[in-house]
């Protein structure tokens, strides 16, 4: 049974930093590209960042480029999202996802497994 469990969310002031973690189990982690998506209240789920299964290639939404960094640790079967210079518009539920493919994807439909999400709230 595949599980993706996010952690690290919470409340932070604008300009602050936060690191999200996503621990994977029940799958061969090295086979999967990983991604982060987010969904704000009243909005559709949107792509944030992705990383190839090798960890060599990364992909970012324009809105977070230069502020967020995605990384992965194969030994720990964990993917991270480091978020710096947070803005109130970054407030959302953040979801981790796994795609059985080599390269990361910006499309939610490419991801077969999803976590339950973790809330990130950025106060102004």
- Tokens 């086979």 belong to which residue? 31
Q: How many CA atoms lie within 13 A of 102 on its CB side?
A: 1
Within 10 angstroms of residue 55's Cβ, the number of other Cβ atoms is 16
Note the pLDDT tens digit of each residue in 109-118. 999 999 999 9
Q: What is the DSSP letter of 124?
A: -
Which pLDDT value is given to residue 53? Answer: 96
Residue 45, Cα to own-chain centre: how many angstroms? 12
Which pLDDT value is given to residue 54? Answer: 96
Which pLDDT value is given to residue 75? Answer: 96
**Which residue stretches of the chain have pLDDT < 50?**
none
């Amino acid at each position: 049974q595949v599980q993706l469990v996010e952690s690290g969310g919470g409340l932070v002031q604008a300009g602050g930093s936060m690191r999200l973690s996503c621990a994977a189990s029940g799958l061969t982690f090295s086979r999967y590209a990983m991604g982060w998506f987010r969904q704000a209240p009243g909005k559709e789920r949107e792509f944030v960042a992705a990383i190839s299964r090798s960890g060599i290639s990364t992909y970012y939404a324009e809105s977070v480029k230069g502020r967020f960094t995605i990384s992965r640790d194969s030994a720990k079967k964990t993917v991270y999202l480091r978020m710096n210079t947070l803005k109130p518009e970054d407030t959302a539920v953040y979801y981790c996802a796994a795609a059985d493919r080599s390269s990361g994807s910006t499309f939610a439909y490419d991801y077969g497994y999803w976590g339950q999400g973790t809330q990130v709230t950025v106060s102004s």
